[in-house]
Amino acid sequence: MRLLLLDIGGTAIKGSFCIDEDMGPIHEIPSQAIKGGNVLIENVTKLITSMEKEHGRADAIGICTAGRVDVKKGLITYANENIPGYTGMKVKEIIEKRFQVPAYIENDVRAAAIGEGTYGDASPFSDYLTLTYGTGIGGAIVMGKEIYRGSDGSAGEFGLLVTHAEDVVDGIPYSGCYEKYGSVTALVNKAKELDPFLSDGRKIFEHIEVYKVRNIVEEWCHEVAIGLSSLIHIFNPPCIILGGGIMQQALVESLVKSKVSSLMIGDIDEVCIKSASLGNMAGIYGMRAIIEADFL
């Protein structure tokens, strides 16, 4: 099979052309998501056109994307202000009409969970959780190797877990919620209070030997662990996969595990907590698995 696979992020759209079992090189362009859904989809079509020009026509197209996705209809049921005008966009219909091949649409974190469960370190497990840490915190619940979607498709919104009830303010979205404290955005905001130069994760870890920077990272890892310990008590999963570029830092993985252990009531020896083995390719591998499962 010839599969064209895309991962739509807030800053970039990544793509790979998979021929049979051979995953091709990564193509990447800016998403310009902040300019809105229409601009974003136009950039998607440009990348698909460019990739087909280089690799030939695809048999199917798989797209994982930020936002809540109705996978049957292939539309975005909700997207926040990071992609204005994206809510309600019929991505599947647009892509199939433009390129005349089947299109598959899935939420990016759920696709990453499927990728890790098919090709990555979650493959030995039938049940596991996946969380990704970036601008916000995304989540996915896998039960019996299948995504658990909930009654209206919104299960796994772990970023909305209230971890600081004392900070909840009526009418203020996300107040007191996990992603306000455990996202990479939260880490960067704290670091910028110390030094405006520390404006992204890469710069923070370039200065990790500075005592005050290290302290900020450790405090942030504690916030990450607070959410994870709650989820472990709720789900009792055998495995949790942590995604997002920052989770590839060995120090972060080590600190998070240690702090989760200190917060647990009971034994967590059998809970496998580890960073995503497929890195930022997990979503693309997930879309490959979704399409192949449908065709086989």
pLDDT for the residue numbered 135: 85
Please determine, for residue 271, whether its predicted confidence score (pLDDT) is greater than 70.
yes
Q: How confident is the model at residue 81 (pLDDT cuts 50, 70, 90)?
A: confident
How far apart are the C-alpha atoms of 197 and 62, rounded to whole Å? Answer: 38
Question: What domains can be seen in the chain, in order of their start residue?
Answer: 2-111+280-295 (3.30.420.40), 125-277 (3.30.420.40)
Ramachandran area for residue 202 (φ above 0: left; ψ -120 to 50: alpha; else beta): alpha
Look at residue 267 in the predicted model and tell me its pLDDT. Answer: 65
21-78 confidence digits (pLDDT tens): 899 999 999 999 999 999 999 999 999 999 999 999 999 999 999 999 999 999 999 9
Nearest to residue 245, comparing CAs of 278, 272, 216? Answer: 278
Exposure string for 153-175, b = 16+ CB within 10 A, e = fewer: beebbbbbbebeeeeeeeeeeee
- Which two tokens mark 52? 């087909």
CA-wise closest residue to 252 among 131, 113, 117: 131
User: Which tens digit of pLDDT belongs to each residue from 208-245?
Assistant: 999 999 999 999 999 999 999 999 999 999 999 999 98
d(CA 206, CA 89) in angstroms, rounded, equals: 39
Contacts of 163 (CB under 8 A, 6+ apart): 176, 177, 178, 181, 182, 223, 226, 227, 230
Contact between residue 271 and residue 239 where contact means Cβ atoms under 8 Å apart: yes
The one-letter amino acid at 127: D
In this predicted structure, the answer to whether residue 281 has a pLDDT above a threshold of 80 is yes
Residue 105 forms beta bridges with which residues? 63
Number of H helices, E strands in the chain: 9, 13
Model confidence over 175-214: pLDDT tens digits?
Answer: 999 999 999 999 999 999 999 999 999 999 999 999 999 9
Neighbours of 296 (CB within 10 A): 6
Q: Tens digit of pLDDT for each residue in 258-269? A: 999 999 987 666
Q: Measuring CA to CA, which residue among 161, 157, 118, 125 is closest to residue 272?
A: 125
Beta bridge partners of 78: 68
Rounded CA-CA distance 68/45 in Å is 20
> Is the pTM higher than 0.85?
yes
Burial of 78 (0-12, 13-18, 19+ CB in 10 A): middle
Contact yes or no for 129/274 (Cβ under 8 A): no
Closest among 154, 177, 150 to 166, alpha carbons compared = 177
Mean pLDDT of all residues in 108-123 = 96
Residue 73: how many other CB atoms lie within 10 Å = 13
**Confidence check: pLDDT of 89 > 80:** yes
pLDDT band of 11, cuts 50, 70, 90: confident
Higher pLDDT pick, 141 / 10: 141
In whole angstroms, what is the distance from residue 99 CA to residue 7 CA? Answer: 18
